[in-house]
Chain A
Amino acid sequence: MPSVLKSNNVLLGSSWHALAILGLSRSGDLGLRLLWHIMHLIVSIWYFVLGLTNTLESFFISSGLFKRYRCLDISKVQYLAVVIDSEEARETLKVLELLRWLAAIGVLKKSKEALTLWLKSERMSKETTGDQLFEQKYMSLEVISFSDSKHAVAKAANFLFKKHYLSANTEKPKLTEPDMADALEALGYGALEPDLMLIYGPARCHLGFPAWRIRYTEMVHMGPLKSMKFGAIIKAIHRFTTVHQNYGT
């Protein structure tokens, strides 16, 4: 972060602290209210500048001007998740364009089938081809919704109860995480954990993506779908392929 903006943040921090202590939200002090609005204006300007910078960078990446983004090693992205805010998902053409971009990058097998699948809002069964190498090289599309998340876990609990607790044996079995994983698998909710998740929407949250499957998923907020940029996707995937993940070390 540039030092000027960093020092602004320190100013914001101190001012915010003062405001909080004085209980700005309840006080009528005009001077402090003005300071509050100035703070938000500064932050808004900062985000605007950041947005412009990102747009410019995405353009340069799409144009192939940055050498390091030209050769993308997508083999590290075995499973890519894309989360789209429910309101924005209604922009069907934008969604289709996103799928086409992902197909162009090479993380999606065939866009035509994906488009059909999207329009039907059905789950796609894994395509089988005679070409094993082809199947290994590309990924299939899985379309899921909110019902695949918490509702699925509740169904898995139901399944485990019937499997382990319904016997006459009064001793309560010791359920483990593998039991839970097996239950989700048996019910058809046991797909792989995404390596990378791209989130499109106004809020930076995963919107209830199946909780069981996101332990170590890298999550990148891409902004609103209407402002999506091809260069931003390339950048996110490139960053993922170069990141070193620490696991409690």
Chain B
Amino acid sequence: MPKHVAVIMDGNRRWAKNRGLPVKQGHKAGGQVLKQLATYFKNYGVKVLTVFAFSTENWFRPKEEVDSLMKLFEEGTENDVRISIMGNISSLPKSLRNRIYSVQKRSEANKGLHLVTALNYSGRYDITEATKKIAGKVKDGIFQVKDIDEALFEQHLATHGIEFPNPDLLIRTSGELRVSNFMLWQLAYTELFFVDKLFPDIDEADIVEALTAFQRRQRRYGGHKY
């Protein structure tokens, strides 16, 4: 069973548009599905669930969408879910930042599923930030130039500190066959599973299919059998 599953939650807006509903209904429906997914994955033994909410390229989201997500997190803290946010939080509105810090603090002792949400995040942003941190530490004398390698890089990515930092399985909805600037470094050996449904339409059967596909593949990392 995968230890870390990542999900690109694509299609909430189109789902609402297809039904002639306001966009916020799509996000509400997506939020309910996310809650269900967290339960499914927890039951299947997955330890970490990372979801891609907003990228640095399309961050300008309406308040309802953001509020919907924050409400979900706050409910999650009461269900033994540990909430973490990764991304450029510093550029978010102060009130939102405070809510994020509060949710993270309240849930840090939870032992259940670790739900990591990528907000205002992109893979390139992650790599660039890691570069800045490393360069700054070399400047400060903490590391030397010769220490800069892949292992050091991994220690400075947004996923450092997560028990299983690299996803074993990525599920992307809405039929798009790409990762859309999500966890570019971390997805090197991640099983990619693309679902031809909008996010609010996915159900347990799709999750089972994804998990089964993960289990069936013979997995190798750079020539070593896994």
**Interface positions of A (Cβ within 8 A of B):** 6, 9-10, 12-14, 16-17, 20-21, 25, 39-40, 43-44, 47, 85-87, 146, 149-151, 153-154, 156-158, 160-162, 164-165, 172, 174-177, 179-180, 201-209, 211-212, 214-221, 243, 245-249
User: In the complex the two chains form, what is the Cα distance from A204 to B210 in whole Å?
Assistant: 12
Q: Is B96 an interface residue (CB 8 A)?
A: no
A-B contacts, 22 of them at CB < 8 A, read: A9-B209, A10-B204, A13-B205, A16-B208, A21-B43, A85-B220, A86-B220, A151-B150, A153-B131, A161-B139, A161-B148, A165-B136, A165-B139, A176-B128, A205-B190, A211-B185, A215-B178, A215-B179, A217-B179, A218-B177, A219-B179, A249-B58
User: In the complex, what residues of A have CB within 8 A of residue B48's CB?
Assistant: none
CB proximity of A4 to chain B, nearest CB, Å:
13
**Complex Cα spacing A40 to B211, Å:** 11
**B146: min CB distance to chain A, Å:** 9
**B154: nearest chain-A partner, CB-CB:** A150
The chain B residue with its CB closest to the CB of A43 is B212
Determine if B123 is an interface residue (Cβ-Cβ < 8 Å). Answer: yes
Residue of B nearest to A245 (CB): B176
Let me know if B92 is at the binding interface, CB within 8 A.
Answer: no
CA distance A86 to B128 in the complex (A): 29
Nearest-neighbour CB distance to chain B for A194, whole angstroms, equals 10
Using an 8 Å CB-CB cutoff, how does the interface string of B150-188 with A read, 1 for contact, 0 for none? 101100000000000000000000101111110011011
- Chain B residues with CB below 8 A from A13, complex form: 203-205, 207-208
Q: Does B193 have its Cβ within 8 Å of any Cβ on chain A?
A: yes
Alpha-carbon separation in the docked complex, A202 to B220 (Å)? 8
Q: Please tell me if B49 contacts chain A, counting CB pairs below 8 Å.
A: no
Distance of A171 Cα from B1 Cα, bound (Å): 47
Residue B138, interface by CB 8 Å = yes
Is residue B3 within 8 Å, beta carbon to beta carbon, of the partner chain? no
CA–CA, A87 to B144, complex, Å?
Answer: 36
Contact present for A158 and B132 (CB under 8 Å):
no
**When A and B form their complex, what is the total count of cross-chain residue pairs whose Cβ atoms lie within 8 Å?**
184
* In contact, A203 and B148 (Cβ under 8 angstroms): no
Q: How far is the CA of A244 from the CA of B3 in the complex (A)?
A: 33
**Inside 8 A of A249's CB, which chain B residues have their CB?**
13, 58
CA distance A47 to B216 in the complex (A): 10
A10 x B205 contact (CB < 8 A) = yes
What distance in Å separates the Cβ of B29 from its nearest Cβ neighbour in chain A? 18
Identify which of A6, A208, A212, A248 contacts B189 (C-beta below 8 A): A208
- A177 to B181 Cα, complex, angstroms: 12
Q: Given the known A-B contacts A9-B209, A20-B43, A151-B150, are A208 and B180 also in contact in the complex, defined by CB atoms under 8 Å?
A: no
A221 touches B192 (CB 8 A): yes
Q: Across the interface, which residues of B come within 8 angstroms of A201, CB to CB?
A: 220
| A-chain residues with CB within 8 Å of residue B10 when the two chains form the complex | 246
Q: Does B109 sit within 8 A of A, measured CB to CB? A: no
Residues of B within 8 A of A202 (CB): 217-220
CB-based contact A158/B145 at 8 Å? yes
Q: Are B128 and A175 in contact (CB under 8 A)?
A: yes
B101 interface residue (CB < 8 Å to A): no
Task: Report yes or no: A205 in contact with B208, Cβ–Cβ below 8 A.
Answer: no
Tell whether, in the assembled complex, residue B135 and residue A17 are in contact, meaning their CB atoms are under 8 Å apart: no
Provide the residues of chain B in CB contact with A180, threshold 8 Å. Answer: 124, 127-128, 131
- Check: B223 CB closer than 8 A to any chain A CB: yes
- Shortest C-beta distance, A219 to chain B (Å), equals 5
Q: Give every chain A residue within 8 A of B205 (Cβ-Cβ).
A: 6, 9-10, 12-13
Known: A20-B45, A212-B124. 20 other contacts (CB 8 A): A9-B206, A10-B205, A13-B208, A17-B204, A20-B44, A25-B45, A39-B212, A40-B216, A157-B131, A157-B134, A175-B131, A180-B128, A203-B219, A204-B213, A204-B217, A205-B192, A206-B187, A214-B184, A219-B179, A246-B14
